[in-house]
Structure 1
């Protein structure tokens, strides 16, 4: 536990490191088109810039507790910051796509390590009674990072070269490494060197890495129609089953799965998976809707997300204080799932004419819901663990959030594609030569095109193309609305799961008075 100036310098350093790591999960998304043109690659190939970072993240996150114990947490943390910073610089200097993909993978290895290690350091910086406040502060990075990534990325792409998306990390990373070196206390490495579970590491890389590739690339390559997706799915299933068996049967596992004996951690991990599913799926669907349908730029889309994000950031420390003062985490989580469901229901009622005024309240609900989920789940996950088990518990919980996001984006993308086929079929059954409304719309298009100089035959051809664009736009709209509704239903269904975890507090008798035990 730290106090005074040193304590808050550590807090600032930890939050800064967390934010820059999570910003990099979304900042690249808005610059894919620009990168593709500058590097002379296809959009499908350029998407590996995003995929490689995500794969590295989910591989390294569950290993962070083991690696921190092996190398010493301070040394491992500073090394991870420096790796992240150096890889960022190399990304900015890359001259071809596959160089960039490789350095993004290295950046993900360094960045993924920051997330769980930061949480463990922050929990040790505060006393046990202040752990709720620590969760609130740590949640700032989780909430702010992914949301401001598109804003920052859009601004940089619109005003500077895309390389600055990576170069901005360099001074921040160097400052964070310097402050960590000065203010973090040394953590001794084990006096007895434990044997390294190389088979566990190999199975983890094969299982989680293959699964992440399947999730990231499945929809693009038509899932199991692609032979490599089938092969990677088999590798993932076999490797993960062997990994679980090995980790439970050896003395020095790379991932201590025995911490999942804590029912609180196990249930929190499930809810954190759902949180990641909803949080990143919403950040996936909303930009698609606003940019494809409403016509927003990437920067405008990011800007409209900011009020809800800032609201969430403002209340996070207060939520931490509420937990510290004894409020049950489950009550906050129920409110969080309720507000997130409300966001989905409200967004599912939008149309082609919707704008900022229609989105603002829904996005504020989304931001508040995210804070009400992230803060208590972060605290609840490790609440029953021994201090020595907290780093491993935090790592598993963070991995579940990342995996939830990966599953969420993959399944939401697939669901949208499925709904597009259904919605298009439903729409075009009404667009026929005998339909009065269709004929009226087509004649209106013909008159408009002829008024702008087209001859009759050309105007008829243009009217058919205009009808097709209208059908496509309506198809996308209905599909995105279906996706928002799906997210709303999934979040609403989580509320009963949370309710059953609320156990009646034991009662302590003081004389004739019964007082609920605060613990």
Structure 2
């Protein structure tokens, strides 16, 4: 991440080569982004098949995200060491191999290990696809190239839940990973046929080994603490206390060490800039809330409201409609409008969406579920592009790759943390509401006695009637817990509007780096 590779000048591509190159690079991005969302609706199927709880099943999502976050900062160093085409090809082929390993996994431990590998090798794929694509077009058409690239990153999250749901319902969950194999092999062949003679220059730079080890230690300890906290009863567990201490001490040592290095893994001096700091916090917190909700919604629909994976996917799919339609428009008007206004509008729309979801109940119909998801697409279009332009605003050219890489690293980390924190909070709030409802109705209440009587008259034994009432309480409790989280997210989004106005973006004449748009 420290500095960009020395570039050998290549002429822009033309004709068939340009088309094939653009399709190949976009397919790689599509496959990569699809894999971060396709498993969301398949978690109940995966966890049921492997005999673990849905909460443990969410490790399939977070393990990929954390490994991905750790490998992103290494892209700059790896590119200079191996060359961008060779690194991109290796990334694709290892992604295909790890996808096959995911599908073959006989238990949750091996699946998580394969997902860690998959996330790690996927890290360089997105930034490299962007730089290869920009090198394929003339500077005058670079905005069009970025718009096309950005579209791919927005189509994939729509296709992910739909495809994941359909595959889980009609085939078996391993196929959500096996579909990467033909796509990946075609992408590798097409990329090599077009780009094999367009390699970037390489040079040997020292890698900050201590910084890399510290990064892996504190990020890994933090994610393990967040994921296992609920299972081990948080700070009543010695393991959780130990993981927390390792994460905190590791982070402190990491910050001290990185600030004294000539070639740091992560250039922390970027945080001295107001635009960078406030922009990164805004995009990361917003993304964490968004990613967490992408996980909670399908889980709630399937485990509590008896939706199939396909139906849950259909509810989540409309998020991309406005995102795709409005992204080119936002890209066009951004140079003429203060990006803080567009970003503020995004956060206000996100807040509206979450306040609408906070009104959901157990009787909610599919149309009411889909309307906020549809509106959320408009917020997505106004979220990534302006905030990325604020983050990169005023950065010198040689710092751009480091700034883009570091902002992506923090954002992806917050996505993984958002998923862990929201599932944990949902579970604990569900237990609390379940206890409150049980206390309120009590075995002596008229409503409870009437309910038991009705169920037993319908032919259920006493134990069966108790089970039905307990199930109804559980559905009600988890729905109330989900709406609590939606209210909280809505208020946090309102707070992020103020954060955006702490920045003072400078106008840039160059195209916006869409590096955040996945």
**Normalization by structure 2: what TM-score?**
0.86
From 81, 99, 102, the equivalent of 2:92 is 81
Map 1:299-378; keep pairs closer than 5 Å: 299-323=310-334, 325-378=335-388
- Unaligned ranges ≥5, structure 2: 1-10, 513-518
Structure index of larger Rg? 1
Does residue 274 of structure 1 match 2:281?
no
> Closer, same or farther in 2 for the Cα pair 1:183/1:281, shift >3 Å?
same
> Closer, same or farther in 2 for the Cα pair 1:4/1:494, shift >3 Å?
farther
In the TM superposition, what is the alpha-carbon distance from 1:63 to its structure 2 partner? Answer: 1.6
SS in 1 for 2:123: helix
Does residue 290 of structure 1 match 2:285?
no
Does residue 153 of structure 1 match 2:155?
no
SS in 2 for 1:294: coil
Per the alignment, residue 503 of structure 2 pairs with 501
> Closer, same or farther in 2 for the Cα pair 1:447/1:236, shift >3 Å?
closer
CA contact (8 A) 2:94 2:118 kept: yes
In the TM superposition, what is the alpha-carbon distance from 1:400 to its structure 2 partner? Answer: 1.7
Measure the CA separation in 2 of the matches of 1:9 and 1:64: 24
The CA deviation string for residues 153-202 of structure 1, in whole angstroms up to 9 with x for no partner, is: 22112222332221111121122223332334321002xx2222211221
Does residue 24 of structure 1 match 2:31?
no
In the TM superposition, what is the alpha-carbon distance from 1:290 to its structure 2 partner? Answer: 1.9
Measure the CA separation in 2 of the matches of 1:100 and 1:291: 22
The CA deviation string for residues 456-510 of structure 1, in whole angstroms up to 9 with x for no partner, is: xx45x5544443333222211211111111111111111112233256989xxxx
Measure the CA separation in 1 of the matches of 2:292 and 2:257: 33
Measure the CA separation in 2 of the matches of 1:253 and 1:397: 15
CA contact (8 A) 1:268 1:377 kept: yes
Measure the CA separation in 2 of the matches of 1:328 and 1:72: 37
Measure the CA separation in 1 of the matches of 2:372 and 2:47: 33
The CA deviation string for residues 205-240 of structure 1, in whole angstroms up to 9 with x for no partner, is: 112222222223323332223333222222222222
> Closer, same or farther in 2 for the Cα pair 1:245/1:13, shift >3 Å?
farther
Stretch of structure 1 that moved more, 365-374 or 418-427: 418-427
SS in 2 for 1:118: helix
The CA deviation string for residues 29-52 of structure 1, in whole angstroms up to 9 with x for no partner, is: 444454456556676766554443
In the TM superposition, what is the alpha-carbon distance from 1:2 to its structure 2 partner? Answer: 3.7
Per the alignment, residue 401 of structure 1 pairs with 411
**Normalization by structure 1: what TM-score?**
0.86
Measure the CA separation in 2 of the matches of 1:37 and 1:286: 18
Per the alignment, residue 200 of structure 2 pairs with 187
Larger relative contact order (CA 8 Å, sep ≥ 6):
2
Map 1:348-497; keep pairs closer than 5 Å: 348-432=358-442, 438-440=445-447, 442-443=449-450, 445-450=452-457, 452-453=458-459, 458=461, 462-497=464-499
Per the alignment, residue 4 of structure 2 pairs with none
CA contact (8 A) 1:133 1:320 kept: no
Map 1:252-267; keep pairs closer than 5 Å: 252-267=263-278
The CA deviation string for residues 315-366 of structure 1, in whole angstroms up to 9 with x for no partner, is: 222222222x422222221111111111000011121211122122211111
Measure the CA separation in 2 of the matches of 1:463 and 1:100: 38
Stretch of structure 1 that moved more, 438-447 or 196-205: 438-447
Measure the CA separation in 2 of the matches of 1:488 and 1:295: 26
From 225, 228, 240, the equivalent of 2:251 is 240
> Closer, same or farther in 2 for the Cα pair 1:379/1:4, shift >3 Å?
farther
CA contact (8 A) 1:116 1:398 kept: no
The CA deviation string for residues 5-55 of structure 1, in whole angstroms up to 9 with x for no partner, is: 455544433332222112222323444454456556676766554443233
The CA deviation string for residues 412-466 of structure 1, in whole angstroms up to 9 with x for no partner, is: 22332343344334433431466xxx4146325414532x345xxx45x554444
The CA deviation string for residues 375-426 of structure 1, in whole angstroms up to 9 with x for no partner, is: 2223333343333332222211211221111221222223323433443344
> Closer, same or farther in 2 for the Cα pair 1:422/1:33, shift >3 Å?
closer
Per the alignment, residue 514 of structure 1 pairs with none
Per the alignment, residue 225 of structure 1 pairs with 236
Map 1:157-168; keep pairs closer than 5 Å: 157-168=168-179
- Unaligned ranges ≥5, structure 1: 507-518
Measure the CA separation in 2 of the matches of 1:149 and 1:188: 36
> Closer, same or farther in 2 for the Cα pair 1:417/1:447, shift >3 Å?
closer
Measure the CA separation in 1 of the matches of 2:106 and 2:470: 40
CA contact (8 A) 2:169 2:308 kept: no
Per the alignment, residue 112 of structure 2 pairs with 101
CA contact (8 A) 2:100 2:181 kept: yes
Measure the CA separation in 2 of the matches of 1:390 and 1:73: 17
In the TM superposition, what is the alpha-carbon distance from 1:125 to its structure 2 partner? Answer: 5.2
Stretch of structure 1 that moved more, 32-41 or 224-233: 32-41
Per the alignment, residue 3 of structure 2 pairs with none
Per the alignment, residue 512 of structure 1 pairs with none
Stretch of structure 1 that moved more, 234-243 or 42-51: 42-51
CA contact (8 A) 2:390 2:505 kept: no
The CA deviation string for residues 41-94 of structure 1, in whole angstroms up to 9 with x for no partner, is: 676766554443233112111221222222222221221111111221233344
Measure the CA separation in 2 of the matches of 1:485 and 1:15: 36
SS in 1 for 2:264: coil
CA contact (8 A) 1:445 1:466 kept: no
Per the alignment, residue 510 of structure 1 pairs with none
